[in-house]
Structure 1
């Protein structure tokens, strides 16, 4: 076998690889439309909201935030939004968790049918959903009149906080099922069989094995459900005609000028709403990291 040697004093012609961004510029160029859309429809409006939230008649100041925090009316709006969002998210999460667990136990054809129906119902939100609830369980709704005729109820208070929790929970459940269903693929059926052979009961398996494995997805789903609920506007407005004090309804009324046109106050409310969601997200990430360290 004949071998050739390269003199020490000579330099081999080795092609140089591009450095830094030059190597990835084709991929970065494909992302350019995404960054343009992100800037135009997310970053720029957010900057406008932040800038206008500190604008007042005296110029740049925190007067808008001071007025909001000192106003019982706006504090009530935050309290109502938080209460409805938390309760609807918890109830929707529990029902979605049971529904997603049940989907793994049914046949493939029925499972696909249920997932398809869930996909369709997840899009039934806003005004059509409120109209459907008014027809069914409103003051003179079909189901309300039927139950009243049978003497089971005297009436359903749909146009109240409990009614809003009901309608919010309805559109939370399909989203929760779609988010939780793939997470159950991480559970092996052999784990439950092994736990049963070792004498563990069903609740012990879920408490010590199943729920800890699903905990990151459960916490993440709760955050998404909470954000979905606290930012909802159309369903609540269509159901109560803006008469129920929610933070999204107050923001819309300040922008549309139903009573007073105060876009700067609406911007301050929006910033506080964003900070609330940011705080919840930070707490969620902290709990997830704590859970991972505990598992190790």
Structure 2
């Protein structure tokens, strides 16, 4: 009777999962398969020419390089600031922590056109903060519409997302571990080197992957800021699908698959580093 009850419970759980599986296949797997199939289509039939063009063209290689640079730097800077912010919040109690968490939750969704418009007002060529700092002799050569400006812009929406992701991870660090390490003569650096960082490594790696994916696929913010004139992969894909002069959906599909491939490589590297961190921790 118990085995029958357990079996019926599993079937009920699977049945409840069915709507999610249908939605996942229709809106995730289906479009991905469609893009993968059309990425191998050319005017002459099935071919890998779109991928060869994506790899051989300096223009597309530049787009890939810019996307990787901006995503990597904004993710690393955002992760570093988020670690410090999450740890500081853990040491803070009361209303201040609640206000900061609520603010992080709000600003993590503040992206796209409103964010670009806000940065143009603040740090554009005639932005109020830019003009003020230039009067003091700072930021003479700063350009918000350059790679450096985009990294700053991306980092802004990476930090609150990183704080929200890392804040619960600090629950794994128990205060009595620090006290025990201190009683045994360990310094603060030794505690973080041998205990704190190994415990937080899975969360740090996972957060970096999410931040990297968040930046790699960002479109609305960079488009609103540069009106599509900065060469990154999402802009190139959009121009090939909805551009005024050059329409090539199959090439756009190939570039989209390149984007998927980059994220796959990052995810595989994340899993490999995760296994090594577990091995080192043991």
TM-score range (shorter-chain normalised) is over 0.9
Q: Counterpart in 2 of 1:199?
A: 185
Match of 2:85 in 1: 99
CA–CA separation in structure 2 for the residues paired with 1:289 and 1:144: 46
Structure 1 residue 151: Cα displacement = 3.0
**Who is 1:292 aligned against?**
278
Query: Match for 1:232 among 203, 218, 222?
Result: 218
State which structure, 1 or 2, has the greater radius of gyration over its C-alpha atoms. 1
The root-mean-square deviation of aligned C-alpha atoms, in Å, is 1.6
Q: How many angstroms does 1:202 deviate by?
A: 1.4
- Structure 2 residue 100 is the aligned partner of structure 1 residue 114: yes
| Poorly superposed stretches of 4+, deviation over 4 Å | none
Cα deviation per residue 1:209-249 (whole Å; 9 max; x = unaligned)? 11111001000100000000001011111111111110110
**Higher-helix-fraction structure:** 2
Distance in 2 (CA, whole Å) between partners of 1:57 and 1:218 is 45
Partner of 2:115: 129
Secondary structure of the residue aligned to 2:251 is helix
The Cα of 1:15 is off from its aligned counterpart by: 8.8
SS in 1 for 2:143: coil
In 2, Cα distance between equivalents of 1:16 and 1:127: 56
Shift of 1:155: 4.8
Within 5 A, what are the aligned runs for 1:67-86? Answer: 67-86=53-72
Report deviation, 1:27.
2.3
Residue 28 of structure 1, CA deviation? 2.2
Q: Does the CA contact (< 8 Å) of 1:121 and 1:174 recur in 2?
A: yes
Distance 1:276 1:23 in 2: 40
Q: TM-score, normalization: structure 1?
A: 0.91
In structure 1, C-alpha distance between the alignment counterparts of 2:87 and 2:226, rounded to whole Å? 35
Aligned-partner SS, 1:278: helix
Shift of residue 108 of structure 1?
2.8
Matched residue, 1:40: 26
The residue that corresponds to 1:17 in the other structure is 4
Q: Which runs of 5+ in 2 are unaligned?
A: none
Q: 1:116 to 1:70 in 2, by over 3 A?
A: same
Which residue matches 1:7?
A: none
Determine the structure 2 residue equivalent to 1:10. Answer: none
CA–CA separation in structure 1 for the residues paired with 2:84 and 2:183: 24
TM-superposed CA distance for 1:207, in Å, is: 1.4
Q: Distance in 2 between matches of 1:233 and 1:77?
A: 13
Measure the CA separation in 2 of the matches of 1:241 and 1:37.
34
In 2, the alpha carbon distance for the partners of 1:153 and 1:53 equals 44
The match for 1:164 is 150
Q: 1:182: Cα distance to partner? A: 0.3
- Alignment of 1:208 with 2:200, yes or no, is no
Aligned residues: 282
Which one of 186, 197, 217 corresponds to residue 172 of structure 2?
186
Superposed CA deviations along residues 92-123 of structure 1, whole A, max 9, x for unmatched, are: 00000000000011113211111111101111
Q: Within 5 A, what are the aligned runs for 1:243-262?
A: 243-262=229-248
TM-score by length of 2: 0.96
Pair 93,15 (structure 1): closer, same or farther in 2 beyond 3 Å = closer
Structure 1 unaligned residues grouped into runs of 5+:
1-13
**8 A Cα contact 1:90 1:222, kept in partner:** yes
